[in-house]
Amino acid sequence: MDAHRMLDPAAWLGFAPLLAAGLLLYIAALTAVTLRMLRHPPRKTYGWAVARGVAGEPSELTTPRRFERWTFSRAGLNFEVWDIAGERPAGPVVVVTHGWGGSRIEMLSRVPAIAPASARIILWDMPGCGETAGACTLGGREPADLLALLGVVDQPAVLLGHSFGAEVSLRAAASADRLVRGLILEAPYRRGITPASNILRAVGFPYRVNLPLALAIIAMSNRESPRSKWADLASIPIGDTPVLTLHGSADRICPPEDARSFPGEFVLVEGAGHNDVFEHEQAAEHTRAFLDRLSG
């Protein structure tokens, strides 16, 4: 090919369909990988706990806790539950919901802060997480799963949710009528795309085009609007349900300013990140005081 031919714009235009097809194929593959990552996060099971030298069940906590195992079923999945005895019989039941990629094992670290002011603590694994089969639906079925769990518990409870678990708890509370006595939101976000984009950016994975496409596909598979992941969770109607929001000042996944938008009491835990809020006594003290107000 001579130099004139190489510089001819018309010659390059012949490559445009091929380049466009290659770009579309790249975006489609990237979106498919993103979709799988969102629906199948790494599982935190007993082996995860052993590898990190942390408790893998309630009896292995620094202060061992009495507990019962039981299961409930909904929509083709079986859920294992830990029903942990609290230290205050007149206190509320607290149902604890982990975040995206978390598990009930990970949420054991919250038990020492909750137990002194609660009668029972219920921990469970959402679909595609921990030891529950299936795939994460990013809110498509998880709120209904939590409502089914509340139905088995069969008494009003305080819902404590971390990150995605906070969204699930909020959505369940909006439909739970008198089954919810209060909400404790740990590291919540206002829009679902926010933590997802921050997680992908933190690991150096593309997100600007593929993430919105993947979230839209998940929303449509849940029979929701593709724009649902951009909806403002702070506007979910929960009536006069008491709310305590705990957020780390150094959280790089969910911005602290997001958490200030939720109703009720807001506590900024100085120095805490996204996953270690309850390692700070400030969070434990406010949680126990909140549960104390709901006792009796």
The whole-number average pLDDT for the span 265-290 is: 98
* Angle of CA points 195, 237, 160, to nearest 5°: 55
Q: Within this chain, do residues 287 and 151 fall inside the same structural domain, yes or no?
A: yes
Q: Within this chain, do residues 211 and 134 fall inside the same structural domain, yes or no?
A: no
Domain boundary among 177, 206, 224: 224
Residues 149 and 121 sit within 8 Å (Cβ to Cβ): no
Query: How sure is the predictor about 13, in pLDDT bands with cuts at 50, 70 and 90?
Result: low
pLDDT digits 0-9 by tens, 57-66: 999 999 999 9
Q: DSSP per residue over 34-86, as a string?
A: HHHHHHSPPP--HHHHHHHT--SSGGGSSS---EEEEEEEETTEEEEEEEEE-
Whether 146 has a pLDDT exceeding 70, the answer reads yes
Percentage of residues in the chain having pLDDT higher than 70: 95
Domain boundary among 173, 203, 224: 224
Predicted local confidence at residue 6, as pLDDT: 54
Complete edge-to-edge strand list for the sheet that includes strand 67-74: 67-74, 77-85, 120-124, 93-97, 157-162, 180-186, 243-248, 265-269
Q: Within this chain, do residues 178 and 258 fall inside the same structural domain, yes or no?
A: yes
Q: Within this chain, do residues 252 and 216 fall inside the same structural domain, yes or no?
A: no
Give the domain range for residue 32: 1-39+195-224
Report the helix count and the strand count for the chain, using DSSP H and E: 11, 8
pLDDT digits 0-9 by tens, 198-236: 999 999 999 999 999 999 999 999 999 998 989 999 999
The CA distance from 166 to 78, in Å, is 22
Q: What is the CATH number of the domain that holds 242?
A: 3.40.50.1820
The whole-number average pLDDT for the span 172-176 is: 94
Q: Within this chain, do residues 89 and 210 fall inside the same structural domain, yes or no?
A: no
Predicted local confidence at residue 16, as pLDDT: 77
Q: Within this chain, do residues 265 and 181 fall inside the same structural domain, yes or no?
A: yes
Q: Within this chain, do residues 16 and 68 fall inside the same structural domain, yes or no?
A: no
Q: Within this chain, do residues 110 and 236 fall inside the same structural domain, yes or no?
A: yes
Whether 3 has a pLDDT exceeding 60, the answer reads no
SS3 assignment for 171-187: HHHHHCHHHEEEEEEEC
In total, how many domains does the chain have?
Answer: 2
Other C-beta atoms lying within 10 Å of the C-beta of residue 249 = 11
Question: The whole model's pTM is what?
Answer: 0.94
Q: Within this chain, do residues 105 and 220 fall inside the same structural domain, yes or no?
A: no
Q: Within this chain, do residues 170 and 214 fall inside the same structural domain, yes or no?
A: no
Q: Within this chain, do residues 76 and 146 fall inside the same structural domain, yes or no?
A: yes
Q: Within this chain, do residues 112 and 212 fall inside the same structural domain, yes or no?
A: no
Domain boundary among 224, 241, 268: 224
